[in-house]
């Protein structure tokens, strides 16, 4: 079938629109996995990171990265001899890798902290607990973010 004028114009028009689409927004400010590791080492030092005991509750898919609920809990009896000293939360791709440090003690009764965080991109969130015997326990969770936070333009 020969191409009609109408079909040709539709095709050409479509290509013009497609050609103007790729406007790339540059986000130079972004933490990298290397920065994440550096931030973690800053807290942990050379100690070994073990997995288990700590739990990170965060939605796997969030529509709005501006406020993401998050709960970290650690299985610990919270006694004077065996308790959680601190909980540290990090991210992979926000402009800077720290989210929060939380210091608690045996008087907490339960090692659990909740807050709301910002996520600039789909990324990994890492939580680390420091116990009273100075062992470190970590957990990571992947979060898909559809609307980014932190670096958007102000209106």
Q: Which is nearer to another protein, 97 or 136 (CB)?
A: 97
Q: Smallest distance, Å, CB 134 to another protein?
A: 19
Query: Nearest Cα to 31, choosing from 113, 116, 118, 90?
Result: 90
Chain contacts with another protein (rule: CB under 8 A):
29, 66-68, 71, 91, 94-96, 98-105, 107-119, 149-155
User: Over the Cα atoms of the chain, what is R_g?
Assistant: 23
Q: Smallest distance, Å, CB 89 to another protein?
A: 8
Residue with tokens 């970590």: 138
Q: Which is nearer to another protein, 61 or 80 (CB)?
A: 80
Q: Which is nearer to another protein, 9 or 81 (CB)?
A: 81
Q: Which is nearer to another protein, 20 or 107 (CB)?
A: 107
Q: Smallest distance, Å, CB 152 to another protein?
A: 6
In terms of phi and psi (left: phi > 0; alpha: psi -120 to 50; beta: otherwise), the region of 79 is beta
Q: Smallest distance, Å, CB 64 to another protein?
A: 10
DSSP string, 100-130: EEEE--GGGSS-EEEEEE--SSSEEEEEEEE
Alpha-carbon distance 40 to 149, whole Å?
22
């Amino acid at each position: 079938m020969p191409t009609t004028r109408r079909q040709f114009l539709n095709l050409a028009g479509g290509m013009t629109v497609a050609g103007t689409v790729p406007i790339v927004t540059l986000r130079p400010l972004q933490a990298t996995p290397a920065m994440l590791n550096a931030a973690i080492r800053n807290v942990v030092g050379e100690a070994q990171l073990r997995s288990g005991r700590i739990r990170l509750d965060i939605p796997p898919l969030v529509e709005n990265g501006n406020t993401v609920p998050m709960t970290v809990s650690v299985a610990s009896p919270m006694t004077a001899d065996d308790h959680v000293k601190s909980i540290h939360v990090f991210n992979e791709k926000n402009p800077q890798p720290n989210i929060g440090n939380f210091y608690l003690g045996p008087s907490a009764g339960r090692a659990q902290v909740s807050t709301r965080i910002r996520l600039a991109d789909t990324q990994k969130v890492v939580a680390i607990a420091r116990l009273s015997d100075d062992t470190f326990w970590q957990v990571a969770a992947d979060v898909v973010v559809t609307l980014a936070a932190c670096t958007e333009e102000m209106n």
